[in-house]
A and B are shown apart, each in its own frame.
Chain A
Amino acid sequence: MILGEEDYITEEGEFVVNMGPQHPSTHGVLRLKVWLDGETIKKVEPHLGYIHRSIEKMSESLSYRQYGYLTSRMDYLSAHINNLACALVVEKALQVEVPARAQAIRIVIGELTRIGSHLLWFASAGLDLGGVTPFFYAFREREAINSIMDENCGARLTQNFMVPGGIVYDVRPDFQSRVKEVLKQFKDNFHEYNEILTGNVIFQNRLKDVGILTKEDAIAFGCTGPTARASGLSCDIRKMYPYDGYEKLQFDEVISTGCDSWARYEVRMAEMLQSVRIIEQLIDNIPEGDIVAKTKNVIKLPKGEFYQRVETARGELGVYIVSDGGASPYRCKYRSPNFANLSAIPHIARGYKIGDLIAIMATIDLIIPDIDR
């Protein structure tokens, strides 16, 4: 025992395992210190800070046009939605009217991001539970979405497209037809996901009644997004506090009262279809016009505090800006969904097996750079 025996064996029969920071299913540099009794988990303690880049502090020395770009490195799977939050808070402070065309494109791109993010979650959830094949099925569609991002935003990961007042470039002329192609491909192939994973008895047994997160706990831990909606908590920011034109769209907030990992799985699967529904309403109705509202070259926010929340693929992202009237934020604080969702793991994993901890992590869908920032 190289790591110092006295720290790691606390009690007779207790066995402490460090899951991470280098571990195949922590999806990054999360470190979970797990106390085991045989296969059963007695206690989990998350240790953070392995990928802290002080994004909030860095934002204090960047202009309001620049600081949003860092958020693509937070929850890198919801890069567009993070950027949108940063853009929205500036627009809110300046009371800028965003052109209708920019709004529509923002929503389409945002929902494509959500589908892409959930596809990657589906892929890695299958992978975490030992099924390698679903990964390739999901990546086939994610690849198509990434190509659209590539063509229109110039990047496949850490994209930056949303700027204060609108979007940075206009979309390419074939944007609409390409999006429709991808949606058709997605809908045609969606049944394959159900065949390979959803309908599998082994998979269902791995998730059902595992990692029960009650509604009260979800509220207490501040869980948001699909994780909380699977516990019966209505918390979709798009519905509750509509932003950027979501109030005009028809879609359902997917809520399940299962509270277990299986419910979280089902909610995410259904959310993908809701995102498709949103895009389908917009894709043929993207209005012509400007893509960005006129703002001053150097944006200066009025003195005060501004807060804007959006619904990323993982839950509620809040951007809190304190401005002293200067060209960069006096203080910038992100309320990231993954940090709150992670805090529920020690509570809900207790008493389950090691394999269940993997299932819980897979269905809570953590993105580690978003936890540390």
Chain B
Amino acid sequence: MNTLLSYSFSSLATYFHNWLQSMIGNGILLTITELVIVGVVLLVFLILLAFFLGYMERKVAAFMEIRLGPNRVGPKGTLQIVADTVKLLFKEGFTPDAADKFLFNLAPGIIITTALLAVAPIAFARGFQIWDINIGVLYISSVSSMAVIGILMAGWSSSNKYSLIGAMRCGAQIVSYELSIGLSLVSIVVLTGSLSLNDIVESQANGWWIFKGHIPVMIAFVVFVIASTAEINRAPFDLVEADQELTGGFNTEYAGMKFAMFLMAEYINLFVVSAVAATIFLGGWMPFHIGGLTGFNHVMDYIPSSVWFFGKTLFIIFIIMQFRWTFPRLRIDQLLNLEWKYLLPISMVNVLLVTLMAIMGWHL
């Protein structure tokens, strides 16, 4: 029973590795095979995840808007998103005449690549991590900030004024909000003393940071959720797209699968920021424990670690989706004011508080 409770996916991976080794002797070939397998599995997983999040978004929207949502294609409308994907596949991948064709076609690739890269260091369950890098937090924040290049590229190369305005907004927005995200991540790094996502999860075995970090970590969590909603350009911070102002912003000229790639990148980014928030603040795959209640804690231990991780992630995704269907959009100057006048000063003071807390050892 105990082996089930502390089951680590690393043993499965080791077994698989040994089996492959017995099949393929060559070291380099083995590495390449493993990379390809992991890549394909990850891609399939993320596409399915994007499908699921697309379906979830429609249902959450319907729930907020007193309507039913998709309910015709497949049981309870679950296949609606598949039908939409098929439709997008058959649409013409149109490139405008005046567009910079190379950059125009490269941009969706860059955006989706940066979205996929950021998934690598996330710990999905106990011992289930694609790349256990010791600077995971730094890696995620740096890779995800590269998305701005793709969006700028898309906006510029479209040769459309609305796209260009959207791209310029994106530059201002993402660069600003990165600071707050970085500072709220730093506050946990200060407490943990490690940049590795695995270490951060392990450090929460005796309590999630949001509980044992007191008020400063809660502030960091709220700042992180707000700033990452802005970072991934979701409403109410979707100025980059802003349908009502810019008729679609940076992706106005995109159609078919190129547009689908933007859409998929949006959902993968949504998953990544929620997963990071769940990992850093809500204990990742660590179960929920209440000190003293051994019976309760034992029951919680029976829930698999992957369920904990995805449960927490989906909870944050649900909150971010509710933002989108509740709030109107901010104006560009209000957006920048929010960051530079409120979030950034709060985060800076907060980091000082957290550092003080770490030095005095109040968080233990």
Given A15-B161, A39-B165, A133-B65, are A202 and B330 neighbors across the interface (CB < 8 Å)? yes
Q: Please indicate the chain B residues that have their CB under 8 angstroms from the CB of A131 in the complex.
A: 326-329
Q: How far is the CA of A59 from the CA of B311 in the complex (A)?
A: 66
Are the CB atoms of A356 and B331 closer together than 8 Å? yes
- The verdict on A58 contacting chain B, using a C-beta distance below 8 Å, is no
- The contact string, 1 if C-beta is below 8 Å from chain B, for chain A 18-51, is 0000011100000000001011000000000000
Q: Please indicate the chain A residues that have their CB under 8 angstroms from the CB of B67 in the complex.
A: 136
Q: How far is the CA of A132 from the CA of B242 in the complex (A)?
A: 12
Q: Please indicate the chain B residues that have their CB under 8 angstroms from the CB of A197 in the complex.
A: 328
- The verdict on B64 contacting chain A, using a C-beta distance below 8 Å, is yes
Q: How far is the CA of A25 from the CA of B162 in the complex (A)?
A: 14
Q: Please tell me the size bucket of the interface on B.
A: 20 to 34
- The contact string, 1 if C-beta is below 8 Å from chain B, for chain A 336-373, is 00000000000000000111101000000000000000
- The verdict on A221 contacting chain B, using a C-beta distance below 8 Å, is no
Are the CB atoms of B242 and A130 closer together than 8 Å? yes
Are the CB atoms of A130 and B244 closer together than 8 Å? yes
Q: How far is the CA of A8 from the CA of B247 in the complex (A)?
A: 19
Given A129-B244, A130-B242, are A140 and B66 neighbors across the interface (CB < 8 Å)? yes
A165 to chain B, nearest CB (A): 42
- Please tell me which one of the listed residues A24, A39, A130, A356 contacts residue B247 in the complex, with CB atoms under 8 A apart: A24
The number of A-B residue pairs with CB atoms under 8 Å apart is 87
Are the CB atoms of A25 and B244 closer together than 8 Å? yes
B293 to chain A, nearest CB (A): 38
Q: Please indicate the chain A residues that have their CB under 8 angstroms from the CB of B61 in the complex.
A: 132
B104 to chain A, nearest CB (A): 15
A284 to chain B, nearest CB (A): 31
- The contact string, 1 if C-beta is below 8 Å from chain A, for chain B 196-238, is 0000000000000000000000000000000000000001101
Q: What is the interface size of chain A, counting residues whose CB is below 8 A from a CB of the partner?
A: 34
Given A127-B244, A130-B236, A202-B236, are A355 and B325 neighbors across the interface (CB < 8 Å)? no
Q: Please indicate the chain A residues that have their CB under 8 angstroms from the CB of B161 in the complex.
A: 15, 17
Q: How far is the CA of A203 from the CA of B326 in the complex (A)?
A: 11
Q: Please indicate the chain B residues that have their CB under 8 angstroms from the CB of A240 in the complex.
A: none
Q: Please indicate the chain B residues that have their CB under 8 angstroms from the CB of A38 in the complex.
A: 168
Q: Please indicate the chain B residues that have their CB under 8 angstroms from the CB of A355 in the complex.
A: 239, 242, 245, 329, 331-332
A245 to chain B, nearest CB (A): 37
In chain B between 317 and 336, which residues have their CB closer than 8 angstroms to a CB of chain A? 325-334
Are the CB atoms of A130 and B98 closer together than 8 Å? no
- The verdict on A196 contacting chain B, using a C-beta distance below 8 Å, is yes
- Please tell me which one of the listed residues A1, A24, A128, A130 contacts residue B235 in the complex, with CB atoms under 8 A apart: A130
Q: Please indicate the chain A residues that have their CB under 8 angstroms from the CB of B236 in the complex.
A: 130, 202
Q: How far is the CA of A313 from the CA of B97 in the complex (A)?
A: 45
Q: How far is the CA of A303 from the CA of B290 in the complex (A)?
A: 91
- The verdict on A300 contacting chain B, using a C-beta distance below 8 Å, is no
Q: How far is the CA of A197 from the CA of B235 in the complex (A)?
A: 15
The 6 closest A-B pairs by CB, nearest first: A130-B329, A131-B328, A136-B65, A129-B328, A355-B331, A25-B244
Q: Which residues of A contact B (CB under 8 A)?
A: 1-2, 15, 17, 23-25, 36, 38-39, 126-133, 135-137, 140, 196-197, 200, 202-203, 205-206, 353-356, 358
Extra contacts, 15 of them, besides A2-B97, A136-B67 (Cβ < 8 A), are A17-B161, A36-B165, A39-B333, A127-B244, A128-B244, A133-B65, A137-B66, A200-B326, A202-B329, A202-B334, A206-B331, A354-B165, A355-B245, A355-B329, A358-B244
23 contacts between A and B (CB under 8 A): A1-B159, A2-B98, A23-B247, A24-B247, A25-B245, A126-B328, A130-B242, A130-B327, A132-B65, A132-B325, A133-B65, A133-B326, A197-B328, A200-B326, A200-B327, A202-B236, A202-B329, A206-B328, A206-B331, A353-B332, A354-B165, A354-B245, A354-B246
